[in-house]
Each structure stands twice: as C-alpha cells, then as structure tokens.
Amino acid sequence: MEVIKNNRPSFTIEESHDGPIAGIDEAGCGAWAGPVVSSAVILPENASQYILDLLDDSKKLSALRREKIYTLLHGIPNIFIGIGQSSVEEIDSLNIRQATLLAMTRAIESLDQEPRTIIIDGTAAPSCKYPCHTYIKGDQRSYSIAAASIIAKVTRDRLMKKISQEYPQFGWESNAGYGTKRHRNALKEHSPTLWHRKSYKPIAELLEQHS
C-alpha cells in the first residue's frame, strides 16, 4: 500500500505504472440496503482537461454534479468503463469486505479493454491476474479512481431510486439505502425487505424483534 499526497486528482499515480491502467472504486459499503457496486475506468491519456478538472471523490460532489460528470465521462472517446455488483445475499454470506472485492473483480472482468495495472481506492485489492496497487484516498488523488468513484456512485444511486418505487416508505430515492433518520423510522414501522442486509447489526436486531 502506498499513500500519495496531492490536493487534487491528477495522473501522478497513473504515470508511475504501466498502462492501460484501470482505476477502481466502490459505492454502498456502508448502506443498510441494496447491493454494493464497483466500477473500473480506463481513461484515455488525451481526455478533455475540462472533464478531468471536474473529477473528485464522489462524496464531495452534489448529486447534480455527479450526474453531469457521469454523462460527460460516457461521452469521452476511447474510455472503457466496467461495472460489477455483489448482491445483498452475497454481502450477507461473504461479509461486506469480501463482497466488495468480488464486485471489483466483476468490474474488471466487464471491461472491454484489458488493463495492465489496477489502481484501487482504499487498502484492499481484489483477486485478479493483474498487478494491483491500493491508495488511501485514491479517489482524491487519481483521475481514474475519481472517475470510477463517480460512475459507481451514480450507478448505485440510480438503482436504489428504481428500487424505491416498490418500497417508497424507506426513502431510498434520496438516502440510497443508508441509515438516515427516515430510513430508521421506517424500519421501526415496517419489516425489513429482501433488499436489506440482514447481517448488518441494525437489521439483525430488528429481525429479532419482529420474530
């Protein structure tokens, strides 16, 4: 594991590895409901500087800004984007760490171009045939990881918004399955759904009370 100290994303990390380079990040680890989603992004070296300057850790950006960047990223010529998910059932059976690594592996495998190097936000690397390098706060240091952060977040938020149509009481269209006050209050009135992570302590305790 290597820590890179920059104030803004750049290609500094990418320049220290052999390309093509896929940046990896995930969304939804801390949520109480829904899958965990990972994205792998290979950015072309000649990507628009205008778009690159917009990139940052997805958590620092508004939903509107993330949506804008998501659309711009998909319009970049010669960009390669992979998406991987792990289901609620996999999260409950494997644990969230292993399920997240599995989602990362699936994101890498879904890329239409084969990478030579994988760079990942965080401290854990998935099992794959490519050299993997992890970076603390990588989504704030690397353009590729920041792009993956935004793609994963928007992909998952859209999915949770769609699921929320079936379960409107939990407010997933706005909280994306995280343990907000509205979500907690709804769980007190309604039983957990099939989308809730039953291995998570708050959900497990509610299931025990309902039983």
DSSP letter for 17, please: S
172 and 160 inside one domain: no
User: Phi and psi of 142, rounded to 5°?
Assistant: -120, 135
Task: Please give the distance of CA 128 from its chain centroid, rounded to a whole number.
Answer: 18
pLDDT, residue 210, reads 67
pLDDT, residue 2, reads 46
Which residue type occupies 62?
S
Residues of the chain with pLDDT under 70: 1-6, 210-211
113 and 194 inside one domain: no
**Which element (helix H / strand E) includes 104?**
helix 96-109
- Which among 81, 122, 116, 82 is positioned nearest to 100, based on CA atoms? 122
- Domain assignment present for residue 90? The answer is yes
95 and 180 inside one domain: no
174 and 156 inside one domain: no
51 and 98 inside one domain: yes
Report pLDDT digits (tens) over 147-183.
999 999 999 999 999 999 999 999 999 999 999 999 9
Answer for the pair 145, 27: CB distance below 8 angstroms, yes or no: no
Average pLDDT of the chain is 94
pLDDT, residue 3, reads 47
pLDDT, residue 211, reads 61
In DSSP notation, 63-88 reads: HHHHHHHHHHHHTSTT-EEEEEEE-H
Residue 85 sits in a domain whose CATH number is 3.30.420.10
User: Which of 149, 164, 179 lies at the terminal end of a domain, its last residue?
Assistant: 164
For residue 180, the enclosing domain spans 168-210
Domain count, the chain: 2
